[in-house]
Chains A and B, each alone.
Chain A
């Protein structure tokens, strides 16, 4: 099977210190260590389990970001992925979810052949949960979100059965291949790095990470071990429409950021009766909370 895993390098917002935010209210990326987005690791584990089950499968990991985001590719290689692609270009910066999903879908088109695209439900820096579903739309594929476990795959019948995490329980769905699956954080955690793979791939880099000082060393390494050269693509490589990438391609505008403190303490319980629901809708409309 051919599996694509989408991964993102994110600031580690789980370990937030006092300097995590700038005075302007944006994330202070310098103060937070960059990590593999946690739910993307859950997605990678699902991919690795498929590979365990179907030996000979290949896992390609795709990330978009700065050159240093090759770190997530290395992490994925250490855990069992076969190859990685770093989509990096100045013109891709400042992308919202629409531009990001466009760029990633172009990269996936360039990879071409795939059966399953897996990604985390959402990234801990933006928490939008939009990129996976948008990619499915752009590629015209079925999508299953909030996946907790891939229960079975039948490559002959081109079918997959997935357990989804839903409010108050789980749901089992069947879907056709190829498709996009976004994986929830309640799925199995990712396996550890593998000792041999760490030793094998520790010098894997993308071109943009290499400096004039170490270029010679890497050229020599790559000549002997071509797998140490991680594929790097720019906007032109993925034949991107420049109007749809980066800031230009992002209709989202951040007007202001406010800290919200929830103050309400009282709670009310309502039944599921039509009368109660209707009453609530009218109340929310009157108070201009919805509408």
Chain B
């Protein structure tokens, strides 16, 4: 029987082959303090890893045998808006039911709330598989990770009232975007006023493009400080659908991710409660929420890449032309091998990011229970920075790769790929949004660029160069070191020009150079441990990366202030 976990050994590899994993599990399990309190809690590291494999095996089963077979019908039917409520496509309920019956909600939440207490790294793997099965459904299911923000910033009372509900399978949404506040969330105008009589906050206004907007529990960004116009007047609120007051005006008609309802919401005096402190909504909480969501989209993108690759590989083996399977033709296997290389490199980046997130989040959580030691504080700071620097790379690069892979996936199908009968067209449509929502690739570049200019990525590259690699890969390491030299030279050249516009137009190129070189190192580590899984991809990816670095370096080398004139359009 098909299983998206056991069929893709590359995912399992990421669960157990990083030197960071033991630290993550030790922190997340507080040195296995739950082992006598909860029947399902692990006793030690090996036991925990075994649990992770078993849980992911369940996800692999449900994704392959329930969600994936439902995907086509969900795509065709889509959700509907009826009397201000969302009715999902019928098979979406079947998918949700399977996930709830398998207990796959509140995956990262502590056991005392009914959660599974699994690290983000494991949750990311689940996310990836759900996306391979149906990227639209992945949105509905994975919005459960909004609960992390409520857990981090809500109070004890809110924890006890809301977290168990999410662990039991209720859904979430994050209500941020408005018609005039997309990338620029500082312009959010949804009004929050304190109702002295009822002793609660009231929300009035509208939101747009809200994924799963009719969810059970909403995190809402709203303007609590009358008269303000920027981000400092925004707070975060919890809206409970049981209280009523928010209706769905319409569902968007989208190009892809049809299963996921994208809603326009109307708030009429909706009762809400404050999450955390006033005025910190955008500055602190939405940033945390977005970082989680971006890691989620990175996982969704990798899942889509895997799906695109699966479809293309199967078709190329099956389709015969000129007397042989088309996979035998260099023009075809060139595309397939590059798809796989981008998938493997992007996945390595995804899980490295998830591990960085895990360590700092676990330490953050421990800091709420007790004072961290100076060593722990230093570790927390280091990994928090790594997570901040890697998240925009993982999201931006993987979403771009998902689009490229979906494109090549259709190309391998030829004319058949353009017909609606094959899954590759759904993947192509679904992938398109990944490089747009939760911050476009251009905004990922903005988030990452300070780590380019302040030398952080260069420092990480220098650190990665200290990692030993298998003897067979020493030559690759030298080539990757040479890429870093070119990258550093480009950074210096752009900085030396001291022109903000020039700096901004080069940013995407520098961003890609940093990400590509980092991915070479990560893939080299994977191949050193498992040449049979990653050896070929390493070769293909380093060849590709070298030419990418060269391309970007040439472009940046040509660029100066005078050149900018040809680029400006007005």
Contact = CB atoms under 8 A, between A and B. Distances in A.
Check if A and B associate. Answer: yes
Contacts of B44: none
Nearest to B59: A195
B54 A192 contact: no
Nearest to A193: B58
Interface in B13-70: 36, 39-42, 50-51, 54-55, 58, 61-62, 66
B443 interface: no
A225 interface: yes
A110 interface: no
Interface string A190-202: 0111111111101
A224 interface: yes
Contacts of B66: 192
Contacts of A191: 98, 101-102
B51 A193 contact: no
Contact of B55 (A199, A224, A225): A199
Given A193-B102, A224-B36, A198 B54 contact: yes
A199 B55 CA distance: 8
Given A191-B98, A202-B54, A196 B103 contact: yes
A242 to B, nearest CB: 39
A225 B47 CA distance: 15
B238 interface: no
Contacts of A224: 36
A227 B102 CA distance: 21
Contacts of A196: 39-40, 103, 116
A247 B569 CA distance: 90
Contacts of A199: 39-42, 51, 54-55
A193 B51 CA distance: 13
A199 B36 CA distance: 14
Given A197-B103, A199-B40, A199-B42, A192 B61 contact: yes
Interface in B394-438: none
A192 B58 contact: yes
Classify the secondary structure of A's interface with B. helix
Contacts of A194: 58, 101-103
Given A196-B116, A198-B58, A225 B39 contact: yes
B282 to A, nearest CB: 35
A195 B55 contact: yes
B72 to A, nearest CB: 19
B20 to A, nearest CB: 22
B494 interface: no
B104 interface: yes
Contacts of A192: 58, 61-62, 66, 98, 101-102
Nearest to B61: A192
Nearest to A194: B103
A51 to B, nearest CB: 12
A191 B100 CA distance: 10
Contacts of B62: 192
A195 B42 CA distance: 13
A198 B60 CA distance: 14
A195 B98 contact: no
A237 to B, nearest CB: 27
B105 to A, nearest CB: 9
Contacts of B41: 199
Given A202-B50, A202-B54, A195 B36 contact: no
A76 to B, nearest CB: 14
Nearest to B35: A224
A21 to B, nearest CB: 22
Nearest to B115: A196
A224 B35 CA distance: 10
A25 B297 CA distance: 54
Interface in A140-162: none
A227 B40 CA distance: 12
Interface string A247-283: 0000000000000000000000000000000000000
Contacts of B54: 195, 198-199, 202
A195 B39 contact: no
A121 B117 CA distance: 40
A225 B42 CA distance: 13
Contacts of A197: 40, 103
Contact of A200 (B40, B50, B101): B40
A223 to B, nearest CB: 12
A211 B104 CA distance: 34
Most A C-beta atoms less than 10 A away, residue of B36, B42, B66, B102 = B102
Contacts of A225: 39
A192 B61 CA distance: 8
A192 B57 CA distance: 11
A192 B103 CA distance: 9
A202 B42 CA distance: 11
B101 to A, nearest CB: 4
A224 B47 CA distance: 16
A191 to B, nearest CB: 4
A255 B183 CA distance: 78
Nearest to B39: A200
Interface string A168-197: 000000000000000000000001111111
Nearest to A225: B39
A194 B50 CA distance: 15
Contacts of A198: 51, 54-55, 58
A192 B41 CA distance: 20
A195 B101 contact: no
B230 to A, nearest CB: 43
Nearest to B1: A15
Nearest to A14: B1
Contacts of A227: 39
11 contacts: A192-B61, A192-B62, A192-B101, A193-B58, A194-B101, A195-B55, A198-B51, A198-B54, A198-B55, A199-B42, A199-B54
Interface of A: 191-200, 202, 224-225, 227
Closest 3 CB pairs of A and B: A199-B40, A195-B103, A191-B101
Given A192-B61, A202-B51, A225-B39, 10 more contacts: A191-B101, A194-B101, A195-B102, A195-B103, A195-B104, A196-B39, A198-B55, A198-B58, A199-B39, A202-B54
